[in-house]
Amino acid sequence: MEVILQQTLAAVAGTLAFSLLYGVPRRYELYCGAIGGAGWFVYAVLMQKAGLSATEATFVAALFLTFLSRCAAVIEKCPATVFQIAGIFPLVPGAGIYWTSYYLVTGETGLALENGFAAVKAAVAIVLGIIAVFELPNSLFQTLCRKRKENHP
């Protein structure tokens, strides 16, 4: 579990750096970092503890962080994509794309196909996870996630 927590902290740091690099407004940066870290935490736990495949874990993590992104959007009254784009960063199969290119250049076609197919499956899992949550009505998120206003006399 210690390794998962270290990876999660790295995901938070990477997501924060990504949000800084792409000009996310400062008041949303902590949300972005937390959402990216939460997505990676779910992914890592499902892979290492629940024994799901990388594609299955990516799909569930994308569902979870998209849900969190929509909640943050309701709370902060801004578009969900502010949190979604930065938060999805740790799940993007960049290493798979790199190794696919590497194996293509070195002439190892079998390994290139294997890594490329795994990267495509992860990308499709991310897309399906995002679509599934964005198909839920906004009223659901308004009910579940909005800040409770205290009644003051």
Ranges of each domain in the chain: 2-92+133-145
63-89 residue pLDDT tens: 999 999 999 999 989 999 999 999 999
Tokens read off for 110 = 């079998």
**pLDDT 10s digits, 132-153:** 999 999 888 888 887 654 444 5
State whether residue 56 is helix, strand or coil: helix
Q: What is the mean pLDDT of residues 18-42?
A: 93
Structure tokens at 47: 């892979």
d(CA 85, CA 24): 10
CA–CA gap between residue 9 and residue 58 (Å, rounded): 18
Q: Predicted confidence band at 16 (pLDDT cuts at 50, 70, 90)? A: very high
87: which 2 tokens?
């938060």
